[in-house]
């Protein structure tokens, strides 16, 4: 999990896999069992949850 970043006020569910260079900006919610591949940016202006 090289260079992964989880910023302030993020909620990461159970059994989540974050790959290399995944970036979660503040206030991002990731649902249970989600898999985020390499170099995926999730910014806080998004209103929908990331789910598996």
Is residue 37 among the annotated active site residues? no
Which residue in the list 5, 9, 32, 37 is annotated as catalytic? 9
Is residue 31 among the annotated active site residues? no
Which residue in the list 5, 8, 32, 37 is annotated as catalytic? 8
Which residue in the list 26, 32, 37, 49 is annotated as catalytic? 26
Question: Cβ atoms within 10 A of the Cβ of 2, count?
Answer: 7
Is residue 38 among the annotated active site residues? no
**How far is Cα 40 from Cα 42, in angstroms, rounded to an integer?**
7
With residues binned 3-state (H G I as helix, E B as strand, rest as coil), the percentages for the chain, rounded to 5, are: 0, 30, 70
> Which residues does the annotation mark as catalytic?
8-9, 26
């Amino acid at each position: 999990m090289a260079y992964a970043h989880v910023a302030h006020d993020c909620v990461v569910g159970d059994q989540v896999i974050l790959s290399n260079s995944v970036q979660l900006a503040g206030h991002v919610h990731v649902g249970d069992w989600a898999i985020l591949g390499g170099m995926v940016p999730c910014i806080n202006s998004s209103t929908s949850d990331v789910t598996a």
